[in-house]
């Protein structure tokens, strides 16, 4: 119990970890609030949870005002992905970084327009930022699928060459590859859940835009957020939008 509390405190002490916790609370509140408000339209608890979720969402948007430089530092350090073995993974990662980098200023302008700090309509900037987020998610899904195929080939190669290695070493390599494949599968599930919400927030008429009830938005976001927390606790780096 004490170890779990200490691990949770360690997560809260980092900016990314705290953001994941706030994100989980935000979507979890929307999930429960949406279910309560749907069953009983006059449910004060459901409405309060939905309002709480909205405030947490505004909090995360404000905190992301300071994410541009850290994203730029990551994009610069990754560069053209010269360290990647696979060309497809490299270019999908580069394009994903570009989409993520452009996402932040678009969202900042939308936020500033809503706060009446700049004289422009926020709608188109929210749509643009959501579109960039969706593009980044699609690239992330494709990259994870590609990584799984590469890892499976490595696992097959490891199995064929296992007879030439010690049993313990071969087992360790296979276990490490299985963990990586599982991590990529979780990343795909997380990105698919977020992509569902990204499409929902696009203008009406685009696929299923605007058709999700609040509880379903909360369910998708909670699923993605819990996976993010799981990856954080497993020391698996990842970012959430």
Pick from 26, 25, 11: nearest CA to 233: 11
> Is residue 232 a contact partner of residue 20, using CB atoms and an 8 Å limit?
yes
Q: What per-residue confidence (pLDDT) applies to 63?
A: 94
CB atoms within 10 A of CB 227: 23
Where does the pLDDT of residue 173 fall: very low under 50, low under 70, confident under 90, or very high at 90 and above?
confident
Q: What per-residue confidence (pLDDT) applies to 240?
A: 44
Where does the pLDDT of residue 11 fall: very low under 50, low under 70, confident under 90, or very high at 90 and above?
confident
User: Tokens 């390599």 sit at which residue?
Assistant: 173
pLDDT at 31 over 50: yes
Alpha-carbon gap, residue 61 to 162, rounded angstroms: 50
Asked which of 65-69, 110-114, 160-164 is least confident by mean pLDDT, the reply is: 160-164
Where does the pLDDT of residue 239 fall: very low under 50, low under 70, confident under 90, or very high at 90 and above?
very low
- Crossing angle of helices 87-114 and 123-160, in 10° steps, is 160
Alpha-carbon gap, residue 192 to 111, rounded angstroms: 25
Confidence (pTM): 0.88
């Amino acid at each position: 119990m004490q170890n779990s509390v200490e691990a949770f405190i360690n997560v809260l002490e980092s900016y990314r970890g705290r953001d994941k916790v706030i994100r989980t609370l935000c979507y979890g509140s929307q999930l429960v609030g949406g279910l309560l408000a749907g069953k009983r339209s006059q449910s004060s608890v459901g409405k309060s949870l939905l309002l709480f979720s909205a405030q947490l969402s505004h909090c995360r948007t404000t905190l992301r005002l300071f994410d541009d430089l850290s994203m730029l530092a990551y994009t610069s350090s990754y560069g053209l992905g010269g360290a990647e073995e696979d060309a497809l993974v490299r270019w999908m990662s580069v394009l994903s970084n570009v989409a993520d980098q452009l996402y932040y200023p678009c969202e900042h302008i939308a936020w500033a327009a809503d706060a009446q700090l700049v004289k422009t309509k926020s709608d188109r900037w929210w749509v643009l930022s959501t579109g960039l987020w969706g593009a980044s998610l699609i690239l992330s899904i494709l990259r994870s699928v590609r990584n799984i195929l590469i890892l499976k080939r490595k696992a097959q190669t490891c199995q064929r060459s296992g007879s030439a290695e010690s049993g313990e070493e071969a087992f360790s390599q296979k276990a490490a590859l299985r963990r990586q494949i599982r991590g990529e599968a979780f990343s795909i599930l997380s990105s698919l859940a977020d992509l569902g919400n990204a499409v929902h927030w696009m203008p009406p008429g685009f696929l299923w835009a605007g058709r999700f009830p609040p509880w379903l938005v909360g369910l998708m976001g909670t699923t993605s957020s819990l996976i993010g927390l799981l990856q954080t606790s497993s020391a698996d780096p990842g970012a959430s939008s």
